[in-house]
Structure 1
Amino acid sequence: MSTPGGPGRTSMETIDLTPATTTVAAVVAGVRDDQLGGPTPCPAMTVADLLDHLHGLTLAFTLAARKEAPPGGHAHRADGSALPDDWRTAITDRLAELARSWSDPAAYDGLTWAGPVEMPGQVAALVAIDEVVVHGWDLARATGQHYDPDEAAVLAALGFAQSFEPPEGAADGGLFGPPVEVPADAPAIDRLAGATGRQPGWTPASA
């Protein structure tokens, strides 16, 4: 991480997404075609649905870094039937572009849109890293792959997830769903899974 300078800028470390996006790209490449219809830790999402969601959110948060409006609005689709034929290459390319976009200190200035919500660029960056790391975990779990994401990225996502307060009256836990209790001395990635409403020990067999 590096601290951007410049007059009038609040102190904010840029987040190096490259280690996390590279790890998730490797998981994407390891998904077999016969796994696309399988379950994931995301309720009602198949592996194909999750891949389509990842394909869309990487573009959305790249545009958020650039302060550009996404084509077709701010909704993040999760429709496996719309997954492009070259999805392995397409998602890998978008992950790399996402990391490049958030390496620019200007991405953290002012307000931007993350999905349908307007927020400071600094916060949008944390949402982006959370989305990448957590959905990488989802995909690895769903397809039986090893997952060892960058520790700094996991801790950044964990800090954000633990500080998130759902809107008043949101019985479903809001953005992440109700948190799952995980021991305080558990690995950071397990604590992140729990903080975002997932069972750290989830497998397709337990779906």
Structure 2
Amino acid sequence: MTIVSEDTLMLLERAVLQTGRIVSGVESGQTSLPTPCGNWDVGRLLQHVVGQDLHNFTVAARGETPDWAEPPQALGNAWSVDYQERAQRLLSTWREADRDAEVAGPGGRLAPLIDRADQQITELSVHAWDLARATGQGSHLDPEVAAYALAWGQRMLQPAFRGADKAFGPEVSVPDGAPVQDRLAGWFGRDPAWQPPAAR
């Protein structure tokens, strides 16, 4: 167990906690609201984060390969309770894992298992921003977590992954001196100035 591994796990825990606070702040009447995440409304984004991400992240933390084509797990009205249960399962799996074990990474190269947490930190951070902005909870992310997510995203998100039929839209230009959560949002194709239609 290395210091780097411990630092990464700490950042993941903070990302999980941050997203959990935002998920718990989503009200039942807000599920049909639009989000900055493509054509997904709040309900669909919750389904993705709570019903798919957390399960697949846990599979990845075990050293296995998630099936992202598998439909999200069922999600009822108590999405905050579901989130907390699945998030604790994820973190427990990471704490018990051999984080230095070599597993297949991007492109099939071998990498330490803990490297898989980088994508999880990033995914949670970006979707936390989406949900917070869509539901009027502000969009001030933990700056260290956001900076870590941005740095990983800038290394990994290649132009070939962007486009109308791809997972990510074009980068939205953001000044270098803008808050880190704005630069993170822009890098992942969100407009940092996005507001819900009722707030425009």
Same fold (TM over 0.5): yes
Deviations 1:1-31 (A, max 9, x none): xx617xxxxx755332122211211111111
Paired residue type of 2:143: E
- Counterpart Cα distance in 2 of 1:35 and 1:98: 27
1:37–1:173 Cα change, 3 Å: closer
Aligned length: 194
- Counterpart Cα distance in 2 of 1:185 and 1:145: 23
Paired residue type of 1:149: L
Question: Corresponding residue for 1:197?
Answer: 189
Contact 1:18-1:96 at 8 Å conserved across structures: no
SS at match of 1:102: helix
- Counterpart Cα distance in 2 of 1:174 and 1:123: 24
1:43 to 38, 41, 60: 38
Deviations 1:28-81 (A, max 9, x none): 1111111011101111111000000001101111110112455xx3326469xx
Paired residue type of 2:57: F
Segments of 5+ residues of structure 1 without an aligned counterpart are: 6-10
Paired residue type of 2:22: V
Paired residue type of 2:188: T
- Counterpart Cα distance in 2 of 1:170 and 1:146: 27
1:62 aligns with 2:54: no
Paired residue type of 1:159: A
- Identity in percent: 34
Q: Give the TM-score normalised by the residue count of structure 1.
A: 0.79
Deviations 1:106-142 (A, max 9, x none): 235322589xx86743442111000101101100011
Question: Corresponding residue for 1:14?
Answer: 8
Segments of 5+ residues of structure 2 without an aligned counterpart are: none
1:149–1:109 Cα change, 3 Å: farther
Q: After the TM superposition, which segments of 4 or more aligned residues of structure 1 sit over 6 Å from their partners? A: none
- Cα distance, 1:184 vs structure 2: 0.3
- Cα distance, 1:194 vs structure 2: 0.5
Paired residue type of 1:63: V
Of stretches 184-193 and 82-91 in structure 1, the one that deviates more from structure 2 is 82-91
- Counterpart Cα distance in 1 of 2:81 and 2:165: 34
Question: Corresponding residue for 1:125?
Answer: 117
Question: Corresponding residue for 1:146?
Answer: 138
- Cα distance, 1:201 vs structure 2: 1.3
SS at match of 2:81: helix
Q: Which structure's residues are more often helix, by fraction?
A: 2
Question: Corresponding residue for 1:52?
Answer: 47
1:140–1:76 Cα change, 3 Å: farther
